[in-house]
Amino acid sequence: MSLSMPEVKRIAWLARIEISDAEAAAAQGQLNDIFKLIEQMQSVDTEGVEPMAHGQDVVQRLREDRVTEIDQHALYQSIAPQVENGLYLVPKVIE
């Protein structure tokens, strides 16, 4: 499997990465190298091996349902570009 130029641009758009034609061409080569590596891995016989969802073979530790956080919004908002009435302000987006 290899990626076409439009596919590379679409992936960049989905990830909100601005990419020039030259950069896209370079990324296409790199991505295709990665796909080659994946192809090589896929040729390994994994018959009977259960897929893992995580690199570490351990399970999730659970947290007790208790409120442990205090209100620190003033501190967090001190680094926000724009704030009003406790709200973070962002350029208008309406879906």
Partner 1 sequence: MDWETVIGIETHAQLSTASKIFSGAATQFGAAPNVQACAVDIALPGVLPVLNQGAVERAIRFGLAVGADINRRSVFARKNYFYPDLPKGYQISQYELPVVQGGSLTVVLEEGVKTVRLTRAHLEEDAGKSLHEDFHGMSGIDLNRAGTPLLEIVTEPDMRSAEEAVAYARALHALVRWIGICDGNMQEGSFRCDANVSVRPKGAEALGTRSEIKNLNSFRFMEEAINYEVRRQIELLEDGGTVVQETRLYDPDRKETRSMRSKEDAHDYRYFPDPDLLPLAISAETIESIRSGLPELPQAKRDRYIRDHQLSAYDAGVLTSSREVADFYEDVISALGGGYKLAATWITGELFGALKRAGLEISQSPLGSRQLAGLLQQLQDKVVNGKGAKEVFDAMWNGEGEATAIIAAKGLKQISDAGELEQVIDGVLVANPKSVEEYRAGKEKAFNALVGQAMKATRGKGNPAQINEILKKKLAG
Interface residues with partner 1 (CB under 8 A) are 10, 14, 16, 53-56, 58-69, 71-73, 76-77, 82, 84-95
Which 3 state secondary structure label does DSSP give 93? coil
- The least distance separating partner 1 from the CB of residue 57, rounded to whole angstroms, comes to 9
Q: Which is nearer to partner 1, 10 or 36 (CB)?
A: 10
Which of left, alpha, beta for 63 (phi over 0: left; psi -120 to 50: alpha)? beta
User: Which candidate, 77, 95, 78, 79, places its Cα nearest to that of 87?
Assistant: 77
Which 3 state secondary structure label does DSSP give 84? strand
- The least distance separating partner 1 from the CB of residue 23, rounded to whole angstroms, comes to 20
- The least distance separating partner 1 from the CB of residue 72, rounded to whole angstroms, comes to 7
**Residue carrying structure tokens 């351990």:** 58
Q: Which is nearer to partner 1, 22 or 72 (CB)?
A: 72
